[in-house]
Amino acid sequence: MSRTFRSTYRPSLLVPALAVLLTLVLWPQLRILAQSLTGADGGFSLEHYARFFDFERPANLEAMWNSAWLSVVSVICAAAIGVPLALLVTRVEFPLRGAVASLAVLPLLLPPIVGVLAFKQFLFGEYGIIPRALYETTGIEWHLEGFAGIIVLHAYAFFPLFYLFVAAGQKRLDPALPEAAYSLGASRTRTMFKVTLPLLKPAIAGAGILVLLNAMGSFSGPLFFAPTEEILTLRIANLKESDTAIVTVTSTILAVCAFLLLVPMRRMESGADVVSAAKGQITPAPPSRTIGRVLLGVLAFVLIVALLLPHLSIVLLSFASDRWHADDVMPSAYTLSHYREILSTDTFTRPLINSLQMSSLAAFGNVVIGLVIAFFISRRRQPLGRAVELLAFLPLALPATVIAFNLLKTFSEPSTLTFGRALAGTWLLLPLAYFVRHLPIAVRATQSAIATLDPALIDASESLGAGRWMTFRRVTLPLVLPGVLSGALLCFLAGLSEFVASILIYVPANKPIAIQIYDSFYDGSLGVPAALSVLLLVSQAFIAIAVNRFLRVERAQ
């Protein structure tokens, strides 16, 4: 990290980037903070906080308590799946290992609204396929609902974060250390708990905080599984107009918690780099006994089916007639009518085009601003660089509901920051929310691209007489571009899936595809939202493959 890019850094670019960061990320937070501290008479007051912490009407406190313990339990469950899986996949050779390794990230790519539909309505809810099948075959009455449903959904959706962090941590781990412990007589278990896991602590903790933040900000799970329970994100959505003052307090409290978690997370992530001095890598070894191999193979198969279950159920339901019989376990009739219905009108194309437009606009902004910020951060380690970095990563920690609410309230009146116009109710506010939500993805992608950059190339360019701008355009940019563009792709795909901020601030003119899925389900159909989900997933896969091919061609050139 001592190598810097002084020569290619242009401070003039930072000014607009910082202005955007301050206007869209910091300013809304500060405004909401100020509003939460403004009393009915317009002066400073803690009255809304007093109301929030009122033990006579405990709904807010109950919501805070529920959100907190739900998030902690979600972290534990996600870790219980993700950590052992990562250890297994990186250390042991077993049948289907490659498939498990690549499919384990699948839940991250499932749009939240599609995930919750699959879990609640198609698979595990009271009238879902699995409880029905269970009842028909064994007579056992079981289904997922309420808090348990949220936790299972979170475990599925978030375990890949543990998996990815720990697998990456393993790669950086010096295999000599556990080997030394083992050869000095420690048992395998003892080595695991006394050496390997402690070395992986930064990776596990980093993933843990990220999952905690994600679980705290989760909205679609609570919306479907526990609509009548008190949960902070639901309260923000429900009370955003009727009791704005309480929502500003809720929003501020969530933002402060998020910020307090963000600081140690960033520190842990940079701390993780220190371990990377290791030589060599752990290679997976086959288990010593055949029975172990067979058992692991069976486990892997079960796991793959479980990972694919939501996707399979969506495909199945998209072809199923909506007229189920009361006792049907599986659909009794199949049809193409849902696809025909969707493709014959603009119910799919219009929201999809809206989503494509907004996501590409937001991703474009993310790349440009992310590039400038990442270069700035990479150059400076002093307080200003750190402050900018924290600011750029703040949206990662903020629940999407909070981001959306704060933007909505901040820009609901004309202000000089928005050239004298109110943005609430306009087409533009939602892409701005996408931009804010996904900025950390772009910054991080650019940061890792910069980290692999060889400063010697830049020195060479400059010593051969190229100017700063020429060097940036002809040397630096082409070298970081593939990394930057994969970041752009991630931002873009995340925009296509976005539901939580969307439901708070979309307007008919920019209704995104995720909202169309929700609406068509709300309207009473199962097949139409399933078919829409299939088409969304296919579009996303198509775009991802196309962009990756672009990048490969680009690299080859």
Partner 1 sequence: MTHVFRLLLVTGLLSACSKDDRITVVVYSPHGPDIGKEFEKAFETENPGVDVQYQPLPTADILTRVRGESANPSCDVWWGAPSSTFAIAADEALLEPYRPDWLAHVDEKFHDREDRFAPHFTIPQVIVYNRDRRSADDAPTSWDDLASDAYAGRVVMRNPPPSGSMRGAFSWLVAWKAGNDPANTKAGFDYLRAVHRNTKSYGAIPKELFEAIKRDKDDVVGVWNLADAIFQRDRYEYPFGIAIPAEGVPVVIDCIALVKNDRRSPARAEAAKKYYDFVTSIESGRKLMNGHGRILIRGDVPAEDLPSWHAEYAYEPLPVDATFAATNADAWMSEWEAKVKPLEHGGS
From 130, 380, 519, 539, residue interacting with partner 1 (rule: CB under 8 A): 519
Q: Taking the complex as a whole, how short is the minimal distance between the CB of residue 46 and partner 1, in angstroms?
A: 22
Decide if residue 274 touches partner 1 (CB under 8 A): no
Cβ neighbours for 274, distance < 8 A, ≥ 6 positions apart: none
Exposed/middle/buried for residue 380 (C-beta within 10 Å: 0-12, 13-18, 19+): middle
Q: Which of residues 45 and 357 has its CB atom nearest to partner 1 in the complex?
A: 357
Decide if residue 232 touches partner 1 (CB under 8 A): no
Q: Which of 271, 275, 81 is nearest to 164 (CA)?
A: 81
Decide if residue 41 touches partner 1 (CB under 8 A): no
Q: What share of the chain is helix, strand, coil (3-state, %, to 5)?
A: 75, 0, 25
From 50, 336, 353, 538, residue interacting with partner 1 (rule: CB under 8 A): 353
Q: Which of 245, 230, 207, 202 is nearest to 41 (CA)?
A: 245
* Cβ(491)–Cβ(540) below 8 Å: no
Decide if residue 240 touches partner 1 (CB under 8 A): yes
Whole-Å CA distances, 286 to 83, 94, 137, 294, 483: 19, 6, 38, 11, 34
From 7, 38, 426, 539, residue interacting with partner 1 (rule: CB under 8 A): 426
Q: Which of residues 329 and 391 has its CB atom nearest to partner 1 in the complex?
A: 329
From 191, 233, 520, 533, residue interacting with partner 1 (rule: CB under 8 A): 520
Decide if residue 228 touches partner 1 (CB under 8 A): yes
Specify the stretch interacting with partner 1 by CB under 8 A; choose among 107-115, 204-212, 301-309, 517-525.
517-525
Q: Which of residues 202 and 222 has its CB atom nearest to partner 1 in the complex?
A: 222
Specify the stretch interacting with partner 1 by CB under 8 A; choose among 66-74, 160-168, 448-456, 507-515.
507-515
Q: Taking the complex as a whole, how short is the minimal distance between the CB of residue 220 and partner 1, in angstroms?
A: 10
Decide if residue 179 touches partner 1 (CB under 8 A): no
Give the span between the Cα atoms of 484 and 486, in whole angstroms. Answer: 6
Q: Which of residues 200 and 485 has its CB atom nearest to partner 1 in the complex?
A: 485
From 357, 381, 391, 455, residue interacting with partner 1 (rule: CB under 8 A): 357
Give the span between the Cα atoms of 513 and 114, in whole angstroms. Answer: 11
Exposed/middle/buried for residue 378 (C-beta within 10 Å: 0-12, 13-18, 19+): buried
Q: Taking the complex as a whole, how short is the minimal distance between the CB of residue 535 and partner 1, in angstroms?
A: 16
Q: Which of residues 104 and 503 has its CB atom nearest to partner 1 in the complex?
A: 503
Binding mask 479-498 for partner 1 (x = CB under 8 A): --x---x-------------
Q: Taking the complex as a whole, how short is the minimal distance between the CB of residue 230 and partner 1, in angstroms?
A: 8
Q: Taking the complex as a whole, how short is the minimal distance between the CB of residue 47 and partner 1, in angstroms?
A: 19
Q: Taking the complex as a whole, how short is the minimal distance between the CB of residue 326 and partner 1, in angstroms?
A: 5
Local structure of residue 398 (DSSP, 8 states): S
Name which of residues 275 to 334 contact partner 1 (CB under 8 A).
322-324, 326-327
Decide if residue 24 touches partner 1 (CB under 8 A): no
Decide if residue 545 touches partner 1 (CB under 8 A): no
From 148, 275, 424, 479, residue interacting with partner 1 (rule: CB under 8 A): 424
Decide if residue 425 touches partner 1 (CB under 8 A): yes
Whole-Å CA distances, 163 to 168, 309, 399: 8, 19, 22
DSSP assignments along 277-341, one per residue: T--S----B--SSHHHHHHHHHHHHHHHHHHHHHHHHHHHHHTB-S---TT-SS-S-B-SHHHHH
From 223, 258, 362, 371, residue interacting with partner 1 (rule: CB under 8 A): 223
Q: Taking the complex as a whole, how short is the minimal distance between the CB of residue 371 and partner 1, in angstroms?
A: 13
Q: Which of 374, 376, 497 is nearest to 445 (CA)?
A: 374
* Cβ(161)–Cβ(82) below 8 Å: yes
| Binding-residue total with partner 1 (CB under 8 A) | 56
From 294, 422, 460, 538, residue interacting with partner 1 (rule: CB under 8 A): 422
From 159, 163, 224, 472, residue interacting with partner 1 (rule: CB under 8 A): 224
CB-based contacts of 169-172 (< 8 A; 24+ apart in sequence): 169/199, 169/200, 169/202, 169/203, 169/204, 169/272, 169/275, 170/86, 170/87, 170/90, 170/91, 170/200, 170/282, 171/90, 171/281, 171/282, 172/272, 172/275, 172/276, 172/278
Q: Taking the complex as a whole, how short is the minimal distance between the CB of residue 554 and partner 1, in angstroms?
A: 6
Whole-Å CA distances, 377 to 290, 383, 477, 479, 490: 51, 10, 16, 18, 21
Q: Which helix (H) or strand (E) holds 60?
A: helix 59-91
Decide if residue 140 touches partner 1 (CB under 8 A): no
Q: How far is CA 326 from the centre of its chain?
A: 37
Half-sphere exposure of 177 (CA within 13 A, CB side): 19
Q: Which of residues 9 and 364 has its CB atom nearest to partner 1 in the complex?
A: 364
Q: Which of residues 209 and 234 has its CB atom nearest to partner 1 in the complex?
A: 234
Specify the stretch interacting with partner 1 by CB under 8 A; choose among 192-200, 223-231, 288-296, 395-403.
223-231
From 1, 141, 285, 416, residue interacting with partner 1 (rule: CB under 8 A): 141
Give the span between the Cα atoms of 458 and 475, in whole angstroms. Answer: 7
Q: Which of residues 459 and 554 has its CB atom nearest to partner 1 in the complex?
A: 554
Q: How far is CA 450 from the centre of its chain?
A: 23
Decide if residue 465 touches partner 1 (CB under 8 A): no
CB-based contacts of 323-326 (< 8 A; 24+ apart in sequence): none
Q: 3-class SS at 491?
A: helix
Residues in the chain: 557
Decide if residue 522 touches partner 1 (CB under 8 A): yes
Cα 36–Cα 38–Cα 39 angle in degrees, nearest 5: 115
- Summarize as ranges the residues that interact with partner 1 (CB under 8 A): 57, 59, 62, 126-127, 135, 141, 145, 223-224, 227-228, 230, 238, 240-242, 322-324, 326-327, 345, 350, 353, 356-357, 360-361, 364, 408, 412-414, 422-426, 478, 481, 485, 507-509, 511, 519-524, 547, 550, 553-554
